[in-house]
Amino acid sequence: MSSSPSWDTWDVDERFVRQIIEAANRRAGKIITDEDKARRQRQMKNAEKVKELAMAISKKNNSVAERVRCYIRHSQEVEEDIRKLTQNMIEVKVQRLKEEFDRKLAKHRQVLHSDLCTYFPLSEIARLEDSIEQLRKVD
Chain centroid offset of residue 95 CA: 32
d(C-alpha 29, C-alpha 23), whole Å: 10
d(C-alpha 114, C-alpha 117), whole Å: 5
Region 120-138: what's the mean pLDDT?
83
d(C-alpha 50, C-alpha 55), whole Å: 9
Instruction: Quote the radius of gyration of the chain (alpha carbons, Å).
Output: 44
Can you give the pLDDT at residue 1? 44
User: Structural domain boundaries of the chain?
Assistant: 14-138
Q: How confident is the model at residue 11 (pLDDT cuts 50, 70, 90)?
A: low
d(C-alpha 53, C-alpha 47), whole Å: 10
* 37-64 tens-digit pLDDT: 888 899 999 999 999 998 888 888 888 8
* 71-107 tens-digit pLDDT: 999 999 999 999 999 999 999 999 999 999 999 999 9
d(C-alpha 127, C-alpha 133), whole Å: 10
d(C-alpha 32, C-alpha 66), whole Å: 49
